[in-house]
Structures are given as C-alpha cells and as structure tokens.
C-alpha cells in the first residue's frame, strides 16, 4: 500500500462562485485561483499524486499555463485518475477534511462524495469527506479563506498479481488461467 497526503488553501473573495468537491455552494464569496480554486479537489489530487510519487498538481497543471485558466478542477481530477491508471495504481480510499468557518458545508458533503467518486470512477464508499471549523482562529476562522487536507491510499496492480515470480510472463499459479500451469 502507498499513502499520500495533500493540502490546499485559497483566499475567499467576492465575485467568484464557491466550488468544493465539484459542487457549487451558494455563498456570498468564492475562492480565488487560476482554476475554479476547488481546494478540496486540489488536496485530493495532491494526495493521489503523492501516493503514486508522481509529483504534485503544480507540476502537472501549472498556474502559469493559460490552458488551466478557469478550468473545472474535476477535469484535472479525471486527468489524475488517468495518470494513476497509466501507472497501474488502484485507489483504495480517500479521506479529506474541509476547514472553513463559513459556510456550513455539511449539507453538501454527500453530493461532493458522489461527484468526486464519479470523476475518479470509484465507489462512493471509497471517499470520505468531513468538514470542521477552527473555532474563529487563523485565516479560516477569520473567514479569509478555506483550506482542505486529504489522505489517499493506493494499491498497485502488483499487489493483486498471483504470479510466483513477477519477472516471468506466467508465474505458474493455478488461479490466473495461464496456459503454462
């Protein structure tokens, strides 16, 4: 098993939509960023990329690239899933926390789980999202921004191989249907 963690923060500003976990939340302010500034999705992407040792979101989606200006973070999340697929990683689970004084996001958590699970092509039971405040402390407590943290567990395809010797095309097991048994 491989474990990765992710963290992201964005400033709250007027005149932008508030998008968390791919869900638009009605609020007087939104998050400032090059993309849609979805801190939850960004933290999850960094956790997944970290677990796979594939760098971070800044490496794959630099904020200096106009191609990512205003892009939906769910599109970026789908690309991360494709990177995991290409490198033969399987998502075990994701656990994420949104840190925001306001707005209360609990009513939207289920929709966030569904939206992100669909983008990652995983079961909803593989992703957990929590929300908390910082009791009025710090920049999130002062309602200046929102942050998110995430941890992800990945499995490798090798962990599901029944081959006795992974260097051989057929390891000689009886469960895989290999003609050399």
- Is 34 within any annotated ligand binding site? yes
- Is 10 within any annotated ligand binding site? yes
Q: What are phi and psi of 20, to 5 degrees?
A: -135, 125
- Is 58 within any annotated ligand binding site? yes
- Is 63 within any annotated ligand binding site? yes
Return all residues near 55 (Cβ < 8 A) that are at least 6 apart. 49
- Is 57 within any annotated ligand binding site? yes
Measured CA to CA, the distance from residue 5 to residue 87 in angstroms comes to 18
- Is 165 within any annotated ligand binding site? no
- Is 134 within any annotated ligand binding site? yes
- Is 9 within any annotated ligand binding site? yes
- Is 85 within any annotated ligand binding site? no
> Strand 2-14's sheet: what is its strand order?
29-31, 2-14, 145-156, 89-99, 127-132
- Is 65 within any annotated ligand binding site? yes
Rounded (10°) CA dihedral 150, 132, 37, 143: -150
- Is 60 within any annotated ligand binding site? no
- Is 62 within any annotated ligand binding site? yes
- Is 166 within any annotated ligand binding site? no
Measured CA to CA, the distance from residue 35 to residue 68 in angstroms comes to 6
Residue positions in the annotated binding site? Answer: 8-10, 34-35, 42, 56-58, 61-65, 132-135, 139
Residue positions in the annotated binding site for a divalent metal cation? Answer: 8, 10, 42
């Amino acid at each position: 098993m491989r474990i990765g963690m992710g963290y992201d923060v964005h400033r709250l500003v007027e005149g932008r939509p508030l998008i968390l976990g791919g869900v638009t939340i009605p609020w007087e302010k939104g998050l400032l960023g090059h993309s849609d500034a979805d801190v939850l999705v960004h933290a999850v992407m960094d956790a997944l990329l970290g677990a796979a040792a594939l760098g971070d979101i800044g490496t794959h989606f630099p904020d200096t690239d106009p191609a990512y200006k205003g892009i939906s973070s769910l599109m970026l999340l789908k690309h991360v899933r494709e990177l995991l697929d290409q490198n033969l990683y399987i998502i075990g689970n994701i656990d994420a926390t949104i840190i925001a004084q306001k707005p209360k996001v609990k009513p939207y958590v289920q929709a966030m789980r569904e939206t992100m699970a669909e983008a990652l092509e995983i079961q909803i039971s593989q992703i957990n999202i929590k929300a908390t405040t910082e009791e009025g402390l710090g920049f999130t407590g002062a309602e200046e921004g929102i942050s998110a943290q995430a941890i992800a567990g990945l499995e490798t395809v090798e962990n599901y191989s029944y081959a006795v010797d992974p260097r051989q095309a057929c390891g000689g097991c009886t469960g895989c249907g290999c003609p050399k048994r």
